Amino acid sequence: MEYVILAVVIAVVAVGAIAGLVVSGRRRQQLPPKSQAPVITAPPTPREPAVGEEAAPPTEEPRRTVEEVRLPEAEAEAEAQVAAVPETVPETVEEAPAIEVPEPTAGRLVRLRSRLSRSQNSLGKGLLSLLSREHLDEDTWEEIEETLLTADVGVAPTQELVERLRTRVKVLGTRTPDELRGLLREELVELIGKDSDRTVRSTKHEEGPAVVLVVGVNGVGKTTTTGKLARVLVADGRKVVLGAADTFRAAAADQLQTWGERVGARTVRGPEGGDPASIAFDAVKEGIAEGADTVLVDTAGRLHTKTGLMDELGKVKRVVEKHGPVDEVLLVLDATTGQNGLIQARVFAEVVDITGIVLTKLDGTAKGGIVVAVQRELGVPVKLIGLGEGADDLAPFEPGAFVDALIGD
């Protein structure tokens, strides 16, 4: 019995051993072969040839001659000389603005005649249409008066013109269109004033350059008018200096300087909010030093209702007169403001002696009769008119050319 048990145990052990061998064999077949790590070899280090070995053939090194070998003192001196040479940096040259050549002022109003064509309906063409009626009764003459008043001619000038037209129409009798146009032209030129001196006094005299003050309220285009006037004078051969005495409006000095640079006129300016009288004084002083013909001073666009500001305008004039007389005081008025412009003109005339009037925005929307009204109000002539936004749209006022533009051909 013992032998049987022993035989069974041996058989079980043998079967287990055989099974273990079979399983391990299968696992070996399923496992991937181990990857061998890459072998990094260091570069071979040069070694000296051993005894008995042949040495490598010698390599020839570049050799320098005695002249090429520099001593330490010579190298230091050469480096110092290189360091002493300044590095040249290319300079950026700012190009000066191109100076424009304004067109001559002679006949400029004639060339700008089309700008006044839109005003014909309210004054010139309206009057011609009424005067061309076969029977001129009282109703027609009242319409003529209304046309003149609507065009801002003013009450007194309107009554004067109507009376003169009544008399001449009766004497004329038969009225052809050409006769009526000639009649109306003569009377309008007479009403505006053909004999008035409309020259802007801008010629240098013994005391120094002619001084022109430009005054007016805010928003009438005063600084722009000053710049355009500089172009007019330069076109007539004058050397001009500009004084940016409007220190209250932001960028007014920059605007005036830009106008000056375009025609080669120097601008004297000061800090924003500075003393206008001081800047005007310096501008005239600079004009004397440069031998200029004319100094144009742009004053602040002060409101006519501000008494203190109006007094300051009088101060500017008094300070400038320490150099010499003020030759011109030009009042800039917006032609579209009508009767309000006359109120402004009256107040300014009380502070400074107005010598001439500049009417701006007299193209399209303006009423041509304001020329007559403002002259009658101040007793001074209109010397310049502005007919657009262009740089050369400021023209010397010529009564004949103005009336021709109003009534048409």
The token pair that represents 272 in the structure block: 């924003």
Better-scored residue on pLDDT, 2 or 43: 2
Distance in Å from the first CA to the final CA of the chain: 157
**pLDDT per residue as tens digits for the range 291-320:** 999 999 998 876 656 666 677 888 888 999
Cα–Cα distance for residue pair 303/320, rounded to 1 Å: 21
| 188: exposed, middle or buried (Cβ count in 10 Å: 0-12, 13-18, 19+) | buried
The residue that leads in pLDDT, 221 or 288, is 288
DSSP state of 85: S
Say how far residue 129 (Cα) sits from the centre of its chain: 43
Mean pLDDT across 120-130: 74
pLDDT at 279: 93
* pLDDT higher at 173 or 251: 251
Residue 221: per-residue pLDDT: 84
The answer on pLDDT for 35 being more than 50 is no
- Residue-wise burial string across 265-302, b where 16 or more C-beta atoms lie within 10 A, e elsewhere: bbbbbbeeeebbbebbbebbbbbbeeebbbbbbbbbbb
- What is the C-alpha separation between 139 and 141, in angstroms, rounded? 5
C-alpha pair distances (Å), 407 with each of 114, 170, 179: 12, 21, 13
Question: What pLDDT is attached to residue 303?
Answer: 61
Whether the predicted pLDDT of 187 surpasses 80? yes
Q: Who has greater pLDDT, 310 or 390?
A: 390
What's the rounded Cα separation, in Å, for the pair 264 and 279?
Answer: 20
Q: Which two tokens stand for residue 329?
A: 């005081």
Highest mean pLDDT among 263-272, 333-342, 344-353: 263-272
Task: Pick the range with the lowest mean pLDDT from 115-119, 135-139, 199-203, 317-321.
Answer: 115-119
pLDDT confidence bin for 382, thresholds 50/70/90: very high
Helix, strand or coil, per DSSP, at residue 328: strand
Q: Is 331 helix (H, G, I), strand (E, B) or coil?
A: strand
Distance of CA 275 to the CA centre of its chain: 24
pLDDT tens for 41-60 read: 444 555 554 444 454 555 55
Q: 382: how many CB neighbours lie within 10 A of its CB?
A: 27
Least confident of 83-92, 315-324, 394-403: 83-92
**Res 116 pLDDT > 90:** no
The confidence band for 26, taking pLDDT boundaries of 50, 70 and 90, is low
Q: Given the structure tokens 């300070």, which residue do they identify? A: 319
State the pLDDT at residue 256.
Answer: 92
State how far the Cα of 151 lies from the Cα of 406, in Å rounded to an integer: 11
Assess contact for 333 and 357: CB atoms under 8 A. Answer: yes
Average pLDDT on 378-383 reads 91
Mean pLDDT value across residues 125-130? 83
At residue 15, the pLDDT reads 72
- Among 182, 218, 241, 189, smallest CA distance to 337 is for 218
Residue recorded with tokens 């605007």:
255
Confidence of residue 336 (pLDDT cuts 50, 70, 90): confident
Q: What is the pLDDT of residue 132?
A: 84
Q: Which residue has the higher pLDDT, 33 or 236?
A: 236
Interstrand relation of 394-396 and 382-386 (parallel, antiparallel or unpaired): antiparallel
Please state, in angstroms and rounded to a whole number, the distance separating the CA atoms of residues 60 and 207.
92
Lowest mean pLDDT among 9-18, 127-136, 264-273, 339-348: 9-18
Q: How far apart are CA 131 and CA 182, in angstroms?
A: 12
Place of tokens 């001439």: 356
pLDDT bracket for residue 288 (50, 70, 90): very high
Q: How far is CA 233 from CA 260, 264, 353, in A?
A: 12, 12, 22
pTM of the model: 0.72
> What pLDDT shows up at residue 274?
84
